[in-house]
Chain A
Amino acid sequence: MTDTPETPVKPAAPAPRPMGRFARAMDSDVGYAFRRSPVAIISSAVTVIMVLAAIFAPLIAPHDPFNPATLNLLNGLTAPGVPSAFTGDTFILGTDDQGRDIFSTILYGLRISLFVGFAAVTFALVLGVTLGLIAAYVGGWTETIIMRIADIQLTFPSILVAMLIFGIAKGITPIEYRDQVAIAVLILAIGLSDWVQFARVVRGATLVEKNKEYVQAARLIGRSSFVIMGRHILPNVLSPVLVIATISLALAIIAEATLSFLGVGAPPTQPSLGTLIRIGQTFLFSGNWWILVFPAATLLVLALSVNLLGDWLRDALNPRLR
């Protein structure tokens, strides 16, 4: 170590206060765009509230809808906000025919819907990003095969692919385990139906990045392909992935609800929002609208706010639109 000569530094402007991660994020370009957009603020607030409500469902919910001991059949089909004729109990959003509090079932349903949504998108993201990176970096036959499969899958709507995977997985699992693995199968089906978008975008971005100088430099100093892909290229192709992940989350939540609504998703023992809507539909003609309307409204608000958030993020991260 040689002593570097002390450069005389004039105590100019006082150093800016070190900022926390959050403050720094809010100070960035995207953070600025965020503060300026009421749509972004409201939709992200709604999303965060729903996620928190789902996580803390057991603490918030007035009843445990899956514990039969807490249910009273006399409370069955109580209208929202009206005291039950038999027990005098009041339920904010009413009850179903078993006397289950709709508010509680929605909280627990939200939990399953969000869990499946996040897990499916994570799965699709990891799969798609990995395959996209490999396809672009390795090239040749590997690339042809991966992208051909992606093209073929893209010919079909993802909901159809998800249904098909669900059906096949159901056929493979023995009957006695079907309900237990249903959620895992659902995640797998939605995830597998959705990886193509990630793979295509990452491949496109990687094709651009892999010829840049920093990648060549990394190759020259003898880093392995694995490290170059994971440590050098990956961080530079992630920002479009974030946008797709947000939009995919909305699509995955809707896909899950659709599959569950059609009876090929979450089992009755673990009802998601889609299952609740399916159940609510059977009460429509008897005038008990609240069993359907509240879960449906929850799903709609959730899907809409995640969608708006994704739209906003796409515009905010697109330098051409600034």
Chain B
Amino acid sequence: MNATVATSVFGVFMVLTVALGLFAVRGRGSGGGLTEWSVGGRSMGTVFIWVLMAGEGYTSFSYLGAAGWGYNHGAPVLYVIAYMSCGYAIGYVVGPMLWSYAREHGLVSITDMVAHRYGRPWLGTAVAILATVCLLPYIQLQITGMGVVVSTISYGAISLNWAYFIAFAVTTGFVVVSGLRGSAWVSVLKDVLVIGTLGFLAIYVPLHYFDGYGPFLDRLVAEKPDWLTFTGHGGSGLGGSWFVTTSFLNSLTVVIFPTTVAGYLGARSADGLRRNAMLLPFYNVLLFVPMLLGMAAIFVVPGLAGPGSNLALFKLVVDSLPAWAVGVIGVAAALSSIVPMAVFMLVIGTMWGKSVLGVMPGLAGRPDRQKTGAQVVVVAAGGLALLLTYTEPNTLVRLSLISYEGMAQLVPMILLGLVWRKLTLWGAVSGLVAGGTLVCALVFTENDPLWGVNAGAVALGLNLVVALAVSWLGPKTADERPDSEVLATDPGPDVPVVSGTV
């Protein structure tokens, strides 16, 4: 009975999700090419950009990993809130800058920004391949995350393997057709459900199990103090210096992360992005909820170990609520996998459509063909992640360890390169190679964190030193273009568009 109710609620919402995603592009025909599909025709207002970027940032990690870390370690999980807040704040400057650069030169992703800045299409291709390797694990994390949620909230009626497939099918079902605009529309449904269900759980769980926040927090402080400061419980080795370096590194990385940039480029105006930078950090308050509930689960369902601790929050939900409510909360969590997964797949498609396939003779200068190529890549990337989830789950799990720290190595090439002309092509490339190599070396030899410092931050330091040294001493490539053509600048106040003049 429970299984039927919860599964039905889930099924109805999944159909609704695909319908909503497809509905988003009604009446827009198939025109617009890659720009319409990849960045919503650069036409989204402040509210839509907020909804989309909030939707991207709040992934299945928020429900599973955040609660699981809270349950296992406590305080170290707070780095997520720290880096997102700092990153959203500097997005106030970076967002409008990248937006106007892309708009002026007709660019749709970080890879063709790089190709344009350094005047080398092959560099865009190389960065696209590198970024894909870093992003694929995230798609798998969303697939497996949604899998465990769906199988839990259906009381086991839907098996893990079927749940993985549903994650892939629903996401592909709309994103191939409707691109970024469809993802933004699905985000509306997602944000409403996430805000509603987490707001409810934040009040309900402490009342139900502890007679309110006072007794819950008192008990936490009295009995579990080692969860409440660094390094947290259980010898995680994640101390204050790890927290500071990780948050700092990730705050720089998140502003150039391909999915964030897709959100920036979708905006209609620079001022919309600035307003968004003011409003977006409010969403981070919601991240405290799964962390606190994860710690509440320490008292209610003690003894979860390994991957089981990721279900800390859902154990409480299934234990204390009727089936229909379990279904609704499951839908919110499932959409938290679907929306980020859609945007991950979308940006992989975009990068390949423009920077890998787009440099081939038959597709160069043909946005319609590039869009078709991108759509094929979306299905292929999602299919590959699904296939690896079934056959070689550990490969992508291993790769995911270097995902964020590897992506961070693009920061000098993109952020510094776009504002500082003296950073040369070979400087940027050497820095990336040095930093990327060091990240892999440290992570795969299990030296992350290194002396309490995030390995990616150590590698970024090396990256920067190499990039500056090679730029200063190494070969200079001739580039006749003026600075205004190559560098990004702040667009300044929005210029009202006056039609009919000229």
Q: Do A and B share a complex?
A: no
Interface of A toward B, CB cutoff 8 Å: none
